[in-house]
Amino acid sequence: MPLLQLLSAAQLVSHLDDPQWVIVDCRFSLEAPERGAQAYQQGHIPGSHYAHLDRDLSSPVIAGKTGRHPLPTQAQLDALFQRLNLETDSHVVLYDDGNGAFASRLWWLLAWQGKTQLYLLNGGLAAWQKAGLALSHALPEQGRGQFIGHAHKDWLVSADTLQQALHSEQRPTLLDARALPRFRGDVEPLDPVAGHIPHAQCLPFTDNLDSDGYWLPAATLRQRLEPLAGDTSACVCYCGSGVTACHNIAAFALAGLALPRLYAGSWSEWICDSQRPVARGD
């Protein structure tokens, strides 16, 4: 079974009344962290639950030690899965109102925890609204889920392991999901140090989508990713804080390629230690 599939708005409509299907709204704004939750209250795809990037999909930041969105603890994830009414056989559909970055973060967390039957709403909330489909204010029942996650330990790479590997003959392929100006260090709107991890390649996550915000076809994604990845078992994705990197990993899944590992702390954790090297430019 594929680790990830796309679902159209029309396909999702047919599952709205099926209790085996769980829909999760992942809307969020880095600039205004409560905007997504407020938008959810004002209207969401019928039956949708809400997951907040900071409260549900991340653990608290420890200044000077972690990146901006540390992975949630197992206890946090267990509580989230219960609240979402998640069962082992649930089909889970994820969406946001942007480019799919926040939905992809929850997809990766669920897959990392062993959940299958996962979908992204192709085109996100915009696709739903373009189809003229209604939003709802009703809140779903919650708190009955029995799914228990078990993390894949080998899906992650730590900062220390990565730093050591940079000097190894088996240095991994590093793929940075941020836009080229941030990768180069020309601008840095979020973190106190600009640049990238040495030897990384820039792979902007937004290039996984077409101009209308829909995912590129699987064959096109494969053409984009396969030459860069090399041996995907030695490939690591990162970004600013471990969120948009999941979008690139999702692209690998949609392309039918093996998943790269995630450096979850990403750039915002990397620069917490001044002894870690920083590169700028191309």
User: Looking at this protein, which amino acid is placed at residue 174?
Assistant: L
Q: What does the pLDDT look like over 217-247, one tens digit per residue?
A: 999 999 999 988 765 558 999 999 999 999 9
Q: What does the pLDDT look like over 67-104, one tens digit per residue?
A: 999 999 999 999 999 999 999 999 999 999 999 999 99
Tell me the catalytic residues: 239
CA gap 269, 221 in Å, rounded:
29
CB 111 within 8 A of CB 156: no
Per CATH, which fold does 153-270 belong to? Oxidized Rhodanese; domain 1 (3.40.250)
Beta carbons within 10 angstroms of residue 167's beta carbon: 9
Dihedral angle over CA of 54, 57, 62, 65, nearest 10: -130
**What does the domain layout of the chain look like in residue ranges?**
5-130, 153-270
Answer yes or no: is pLDDT of 249 > 70.
yes
Domains 5-130 and 153-270 share a fold: yes
- Using pLDDT thresholds of 50, 70 and 90, give the confidence band for residue 158: very high
User: Looking at this protein, which amino acid is placed at residue 253?
Assistant: A
Answer yes or no: is pLDDT of 121 > 70.
yes
> Is the model's pTM score more than 0.85?
yes
Answer yes or no: is pLDDT of 16 > 90.
yes
Per CATH, which fold does 5-130 belong to? Oxidized Rhodanese; domain 1 (3.40.250)
237: its two tokens:
């994705």
